[in-house]
């Protein structure tokens, strides 16, 4: 969970009238920018270390870790509900920018960030609580700290496809998973960036059962199945992105799977 500055919190009341718009319609506007290329107005704050990735543990409300490392590279952000979408926004990518009209230190050059966390204290209809690194990246060369000292600024954003060259989708079996309970985090989906449905197929008698069991969102980008019976791998996984693209990773998690382990797939959105 990201924090905002005292100035940002003080502005919550000022913007409360704007926030009466339903989350669904706001999310629709943000998604529509994906197709139209239109820039939308937002507010930006930052949290964590000035050149960090946000939270001290490099995690957040999406379940991602090591966001200081490639391909996150600390270019991450909390999003308020129209961006976080109760976890469905985890992994979505946005171009962000600010111009000299917003702040003299702004470069106007677009930078790409990923939603990795939830912002619980929005100060505008759209509010990006950026990592210190991402906030400073919007500045003119050598003026990163000057821009960060502004604390809260107006900015512009639009949704863009995610792109992770040379990386396929990764499935992380979460700690605590066991034969009766399977929790899986989805990482690095290209294009839409997010997953809105995930299903699992177990194997019996040496092959897949042919029966897909729907998983449900546990929290963030983590999907879970409480099976009611001992699950038997290998497991095939089916994921669907926000705009309907579906991929199947056949037997991506082996029979001898272990909790708290990454499993690389051979699938990716292109």
CA–CA separation, 152 vs 2, rounded Å? 14
At 32, phi and psi to the nearest 5? -65, -30
SS3 content of the chain, % helix, strand, coil (to 5): 15, 35, 50
Q: Are residues 189 and 213 in the same domain?
A: yes
Instruction: Report pLDDT for 114.
Output: 97
Last residue of a domain, one of 105, 133, 160: 160
98 lies in some domain: yes
Instruction: Report pLDDT for 31.
Output: 64
Across the chain, mean pLDDT equals 89
| Residue 254: pLDDT over 60 | yes
212 lies in some domain: yes
Last residue of a domain, one of 160, 190, 210: 160
Residue 21 CB coordination number (10 Å): 12
In three-state secondary structure terms, 50 is coil
269 lies in some domain: no
- What CATH number is given to the structural domain containing 133? 2.40.40.10
* Structural domain containing residue 14: 6-160
pLDDT, tens only, 124-143: 999 999 999 999 999 999 99
pLDDT, tens only, 224-240: 999 989 999 999 999 99
- What CATH number is given to the structural domain containing 189? 2.60.40.760
| Residue 4: pLDDT over 90 | no
| Residue 202: pLDDT over 70 | yes
Instruction: Report pLDDT for 105.
Output: 97
Q: How far is C-alpha 16 from the geometric centre of its chain's CA atoms?
A: 25
Of 160, 78, 69, give the one whose Cα is nearest residue 112.
Answer: 160
What secondary structure, in 3-state letters, does 108-147 show? Answer: CCCEEEEEEEECCCCCCCCEEEEEHHHHHHCECCCCHHHH
pLDDT, tens only, 61-119: 999 999 999 999 999 999 999 999 999 999 999 999 999 999 999 999 999 999 999 99
**32 or 43, which is more confident?**
43
Helix boundaries (H) for 20-143? 23-36, 81-84, 132-137
| Residue 262: pLDDT over 60 | yes
Q: Within the chain, how many helices (H) and strands (E) appear?
A: 6, 17
Count: domains in the chain: 2
Q: What is the CA radius of gyration of the chain?
A: 19
pLDDT, tens only, 206-222: 789 999 999 999 999 99
Q: Is 98 left (phi over 0), alpha (psi -120 to 50) or beta?
A: beta
Which pTM value belongs to this model?
Answer: 0.87
CA–CA separation, 190 vs 242, rounded Å? 12
Q: Are residues 187 and 141 in the same domain?
A: no
- What whole-number percentage of the chain has pLDDT above 90? 80
């Amino acid at each position: 969970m990201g924090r905002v500055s005292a100035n940002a919190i003080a502005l919550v009341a000022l913007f409360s009238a704007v926030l009466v718009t339903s989350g669904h319609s706001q999310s629709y506007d943000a998604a529509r920018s994906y197709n139209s290329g239109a820039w939308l107005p937002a507010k930006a704050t930052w949290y964590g270390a000035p050149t960090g990735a946000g939270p001290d543990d490099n995690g957040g409300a999406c379940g991602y870790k090591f966001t200081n490392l490639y391909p996150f590279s600390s270019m991450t952000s909390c999003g308020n509900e129209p961006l976080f979408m109760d976890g469905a926004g985890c992994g979505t990518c946005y171009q962000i920018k600010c111009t000299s009209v917003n702040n003299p230190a702004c470069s106007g050059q677009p930078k790409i960030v990923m939603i990795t966390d939830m912002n619980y204290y929005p100060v505008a209809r759209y509010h990006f609580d950026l990592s210190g690194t991402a906030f400073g990246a919007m500045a003119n060369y050598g003026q990163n700290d000057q821009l960060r000292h502004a604390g809260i600024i107006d900015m512009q954003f639009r949704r863009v496809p995610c792109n992770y060259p040379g990386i396929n989708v990764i499935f992380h079996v979460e700690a605590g998973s066991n034969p009766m309970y399977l929790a899986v985090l989805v990482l690095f989906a290209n294009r839409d960036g997010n997953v809105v449905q995930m299903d699992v197929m177990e194997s019996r008698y040496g092959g897949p059962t042919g029966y897909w069991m729907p998983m449900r969102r546990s929290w963030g980008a983590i999907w879970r199945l409480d099976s009611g019976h001992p699950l038997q791998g290998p497991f095939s996984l089916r994921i669907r992105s926000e705009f309907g693209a579906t991929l199947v990773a056949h037997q991506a998690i082996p029979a001898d799977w272990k909790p708290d382990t990454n499993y690389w797939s051979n699938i990716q959105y292109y």
